[in-house]
């Protein structure tokens, strides 16, 4: 049963991250996903210190707020003349450092491990079950990640048109009266919530892997946004299933192996897809 739970958690993390990842990759903001997934750390720790528990909704929204603060700070420094990638770098490293220092200072109060922060402990997730009225209703992680997955599906399908237009042509979207800035921050809020939900199972950097790699692979396979989202979700599910079994065979980090499998899938798409390397080279020779 534990195998099923772990694979389910991995697949849910992968699907909810890669769905958002498609928009980030298309908006050329992949590294903002990286930044948010690091910078929610102090938010999690502070919420943890205040509430004293790991499974509060407060924690999720606290972290989402920090995620939005990150985006806001990056934007602010960018507007004051700092290059965009440098301002991303300054903001997320500073916040992440605050988080690490807080964890180290309150090691006794905070039941968070520094290693866990980076590469997660999906292997232990099935034992941390949620009880309702004395009955176990499955691991907490499944509920947390599942909720964020449903939230992402709901928001994206409700506002698919708005997200699509403001991704491909923000000027047109603004002209049509779509609140572009609002959707920008909505997307970032979703990224923060998914990151926090996935945090314990796959860790900060591997969340980024699930955000960027399947989406970029799907980008090589199709021209249609809806198809791209479906493909990236499928790819992330494949990588979590395969990753789990390979990790099981090698006795290695599960989250790490999942991302490595996603990377291998990317490599295959890079060389063999119609929009991958071969086609591109041929095309540029013709043009």
Partner 1 sequence: MNWISVFADPNTQWILFGSMLLGLSSGVIGCFAYLRKQSLMGDALSHAALPGVCLAYMVTGTKSIFFFLLGAILAGILATVSISYITRNTRIKQDSALGIILTVFFGVGIVLLTQIQHSHSGNQSGLDKFLFGHAASMIQQDVYTIAGISVVLVALCILFFKEFKLLSFDQGFAKGIGLPTILLDQFMMLLMVTAVVIGIQAVGVVLMAALLITPAVAARYWTEKLHVMVLVAGIFGAISGFVGTIASSMVNNLPTGPLIVLAATVLFIISVLFAPNRGIVAKAKLRGSVKSDFKTVAHQGVKEKSL
Residues that bind partner 1 (CB under 8 A): 25, 28-31, 33-34, 38, 77, 80-83, 85-90, 93-94, 96-98, 100-101, 104-105, 107, 114-115, 118-119, 205-206, 208-209, 211-213, 215-216, 219-220, 247, 250-253, 255-260, 262-263, 266, 270, 275-277, 280-281
SS (H, E, C) the chain: CHHHHHHHHHHHHHHHHHHHHHHHHHCCCHHHHHHHHHHHHHHHHHHHHHHCCCCCHHHHHHHHHHHHHHHHHHHHHHHCCCCHHHHHHHHHHHHHHHHHHHHHHCCCCCCCCHHHHHHCCHHHHHHCEEEECCEEEEEHHHHHHHHHHHHHHHHHHHCHHHHHHHHHCHHHHHHCCCCHHHHHHHHHHHHHHHHHHHHHHHCHHHHHHHHHHHHHHHHCCCCCHHHHHHHHHHHHHHHHHHHHHHHHHHCCCHHHHHHHHHHHHHHHHHHHCCCCHHHHHHHHHHC
For the bound state, the minimum distance from the C-beta of residue 62 to partner 1, rounded and expressed in Å, comes to 20
Return the structure tokens found at 145: 């990640």
For the bound state, the minimum distance from the C-beta of residue 271 to partner 1, rounded and expressed in Å, comes to 10
For the bound state, the minimum distance from the C-beta of residue 181 to partner 1, rounded and expressed in Å, comes to 20
For the bound state, the minimum distance from the C-beta of residue 203 to partner 1, rounded and expressed in Å, comes to 8
For the bound state, the minimum distance from the C-beta of residue 223 to partner 1, rounded and expressed in Å, comes to 10
For the bound state, the minimum distance from the C-beta of residue 205 to partner 1, rounded and expressed in Å, comes to 5
Q: How far is CA 74 from the centre of its chain?
A: 18
Instruction: Give dist(CA 181, CA 233) in Å, integer.
Output: 26
Residue number, 138 or 263, with CB nearest to partner 1: 263
Residue number, 119 or 124, with CB nearest to partner 1: 119
The residues near 96 (Cβ < 8 Å, ≥ 6 apart) are 38, 39, 41, 42
Residue number, 178 or 257, with CB nearest to partner 1: 257
For the bound state, the minimum distance from the C-beta of residue 159 to partner 1, rounded and expressed in Å, comes to 23
Residue number, 31 or 174, with CB nearest to partner 1: 31
Residue number, 155 or 204, with CB nearest to partner 1: 204
Residue number, 99 or 144, with CB nearest to partner 1: 99
Residue number, 178 or 244, with CB nearest to partner 1: 244
Return the structure tokens found at 124: 């232990």
């Amino acid at each position: 049963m534990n195998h099923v739970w772990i694979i389910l958690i991995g697949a849910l993390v992968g699907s909810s991250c890669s769905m958002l990842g498609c928009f980030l990759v298309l908006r050329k903001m992949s590294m903002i996903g990286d930044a948010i997934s690091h910078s929610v750390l102090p938010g999690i720790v502070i919420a943890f210190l205040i509430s004293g528990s790991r499974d509060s909704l407060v924690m999720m929204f606290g972290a989402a707020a920090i995620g939005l603060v990150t985006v806001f700070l990056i934007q602010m420094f960018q507007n004051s003349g700092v290059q965009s990638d440098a301002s991303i770098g300054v903001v997320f490293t500073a916040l992440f450092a605050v988080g690490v220092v807080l964890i180290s200072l309150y090691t006794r109060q905070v039941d968070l491990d520094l290693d866990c922060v980076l590469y997660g402990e999906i292997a232990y997730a099935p034992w941390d079950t949620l009880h309702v009225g004395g009955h176990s209703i499955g691991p907490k992680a499944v509920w947390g990640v599942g909720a964020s997955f449903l939230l992402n599906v709901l928001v994206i399908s409700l506002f698919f048109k708005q997200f699509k237009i403001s991704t491909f042509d923000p000027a047109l979207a603004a002209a049509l009266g779509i609140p572009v800035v609002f959707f920008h921050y909505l997307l970032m809020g979703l990224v923060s919530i998914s990151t926090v939900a996935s945090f314990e199972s796959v860790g900060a950097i591997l969340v980024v892997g699930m955000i960027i790699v399947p989406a970029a692979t799907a980008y090589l396979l199709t021209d249609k946004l809806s198809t791209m989202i479906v493909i990236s979700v499928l790819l992330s599910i494949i990588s979590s299933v395969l990753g789990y079994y390979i990790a099981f065979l090698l006795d290695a980090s599960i989250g790490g192996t999942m991302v490595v499998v996603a990377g291998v899938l990317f490599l295959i798409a890079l060389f063999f897809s119609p929009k991958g390397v071969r086609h591109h080279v041929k095309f540029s020779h013709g043009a």
